[in-house]
Chains A and B, each alone.
Chain A
Amino acid sequence: EVQLVASGGGLVQPGGSLRLSCAASGFTLSSYAMSWVRQAPGKGLEWVSVISSSGDNTYYAASVKGRFTISRDNSKNTLYLQMNSLRAEDTAVYYCAKQSAGNCYSSIDYWGQGTLVTVSS
């Protein structure tokens, strides 16, 4: 059974940093691209970033480019999202998601439960 458990969320002040982790199990992480998608309270889904299975290719939404970094450690079955220079508008539930193939242009086929990030003073 595919499991994606995101952690690392919490309350952070504007300008601060957080590192989200996503522990993957039930599948071979190194074979699949992975994504982060966020959802502000009461709002719709916003795509954040994607990384290929090997980690060689990464893409970001314009709203986070230069502030967020996606990475992965396939040996630890873990996906990461380093978030710097956080803003109030980054407040959201952050979902990690498995894609259906190793390339970034595959679709998301499974979503984890998400972790809440709140940016506030």
Chain B
Amino acid sequence: DIVMTQSPDSLAVSLGERATINCKSSQSVLYSSNNKNYLVWYQQKPGQPPKLLVYWASTRESGVPDRFSGSGSGTDFTLTISSLQAEDVAVYYCQQHYSVPFTFGPGTKVDIK
């Protein structure tokens, strides 16, 4: 199984400041035949289901504010919130869909400082 890790477990950032979340997979999730990373990012607010933010590691989902961006390839990935807003308080998860089981990271909780 591919093990997904995230760091930090939680972080508190001032409004308008940058938040950076890291995700690492125990093996590469880059599929060589199409050069795509099978890595997605979800946002989950309290009491709500998760919401897709980024797919293919760096493609922002339609309707997601451009302050959210994803980067990385292979085994190391980053989700960046360029200017944290109050509505961004949530838990953020990465997930690989390269091989079954499609494992999630443990989540990173983002709060306002």
- Chain A contacts to B: CB under 8 angstroms: 35, 44-47, 50, 59-62, 95, 100, 104-114
Contacts and interface: CB of A to CB of B under 8 A. Distances in A.
B104 A44 contact: yes
Q: Size range of the interface on B?
A: 20 to 34
B107 A47 contact: no
Contact of A113 (B49, B104, B106): B49
A85 to B, nearest CB: 19
A107 B50 contact: no
Interface string B82-110: 00000000010101011011111111000
Contacts of B106: 44
A109 B107 contact: no
Contacts of A108: 40, 42, 52, 95, 97
B99 to A, nearest CB: 8
Question: Chain B interface mostly helix, strand, loop or mixed?
Answer: loop
Nearest to B48: A113
Which interface residue of A47, A95, A107, A109 has the most chain B CB atoms within 10 A? A107
Contacts of B40: 107-108
Which interface residue of A46, A60, A95, A109 has the most chain B CB atoms within 10 A? A109
Nearest to A95: B49
Contacts of A114: 49
Given A107-B38, A107-B97, A109-B61, A47 B49 contact: no
B93 A61 contact: no
B40 to A, nearest CB: 5
Which interface residue of B1, B55, B100 has the most chain A CB atoms within 10 A? B100
Nearest to A59: B100
Interface in B1-53: 1, 38, 40, 42, 44, 49-52
Contact of B102 (A44, A50, A62, A110): A50
Contact of B52 (A44, A45, A109, A112): A109
